[in-house]
């Protein structure tokens, strides 16, 4: 759903991408900054009991990480630095980023473990379904309810609400578990229809 706005967002980020490129940052280095921020977000989620304000800091780190994830692609496109390895590297780090944040939420006791694991598996499978379908030549971008952008927004919004109502993140992870696994079914159905 939010993927449809991707081109508009990338256009808006061009000036920021130019600044980073002029600082000497390559797309792969920007990807590394993004995964580092996700790692910090995961650690902050796991340690939220030290300071409740971490429930605000963690989603901010996660959202900035998502911004860097968008910027690496813009730099690659605008400055002609797109490579097959770069696309692979970026996609691989995105999966790690998703897993790290969810593991931090689970480790911090912010969600039921079963719900957290179901959301983690669903998130990985959404990405796998797309990768596998596109390897077979079928585009999956914007197919399904819970693509990466939606997942990041849901977790970020729920985290901020959790500062005031701690159970918000727990219930949002359950919703994420349902939506991600439903998205996998949507993608499987879409693939089946196109390959019949």
Contact predicate 122/184, CB 8 Å: yes
| Cα–Cα distance, 98 to 13 (Å, whole number) | 22
Q: Does residue 187 have a pLDDT over 60?
A: yes
CB-CB contact of 89 with 34 (8 Å): no
Please state the pTM of the whole predicted model.
0.90
The boundaries of the domain holding residue 135 are 2-195
CA distance 136 to 124: 19
Asked whether 3 and 142 are in contact (CB, 8 A), the reply is yes
Of 77-81, 116-120, 180-184, minimum mean pLDDT range: 77-81
Whose tokens are 């730099």? That residue is: 75
Q: Residues 72, 9: contact at Cβ < 8 Å?
A: no
CATH code at 82? 1.20.120.1760
**DSSP structure class, residue 49:** G
Catalytic one of 69, 72, 90, 94 = 94
Q: What is the DSSP string of 100-159?
A: HHHHHHHHTT-S-HHHHHHHHHHHHHHHHHHHHHHHTT---TT-SS--HHHHHHHHHHHH
* pLDDT tens digits, one per residue of 108-131: 999 999 999 999 999 999 999 999
Total number of domains constituting the chain: 1
- Please indicate whether residue 94 is annotated as part of the active site: yes
Helix (H, G, I), strand (E, B) or coil at 92: helix
pLDDT (tens digit per residue) in 136-151: 999 988 898 999 889 9
């Amino acid at each position: 759903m939010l993927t449809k706005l991707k081109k508009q967002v990338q256009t808006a980020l061009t000036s920021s991408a130019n600044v980073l490129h002029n600082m000497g940052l390559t797309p792969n280095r920007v990807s590394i900054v993004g995964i580092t921020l996700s790692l910090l977000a995961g650690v902050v989620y796991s340690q939220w009991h030290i300071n409740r304000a971490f429930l605000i800091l963690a989603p901010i780190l996660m959202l900035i990480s998502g911004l860097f994830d968008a910027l690496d692609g813009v730099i690659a496109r605008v400055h002609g630095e797109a490579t097959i390895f770069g696309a692979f590297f970026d996609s691989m780090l995105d999966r790690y980023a998703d897993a790290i944040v969810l593991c931090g939420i689970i480790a911090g006791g912010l969600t039921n473990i079963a719900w957290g694991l179901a959301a983690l598996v669903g998130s990985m499978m959404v990405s796998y379904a797309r990768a596998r379908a596109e390897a077979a030549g079928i585009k999956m971008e914007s197919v399904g309810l819970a693509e990466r952008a939606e997942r990041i927004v849901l977790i970020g919004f729920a985290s901020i609400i959790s500062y005031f109502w701690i159970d918000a993140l727990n219930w949002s992870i359950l919703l994420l578990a349902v939506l991600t696994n439903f998205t996998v079914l949507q993608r499987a159905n879409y693939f089946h229809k196109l390959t019949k």
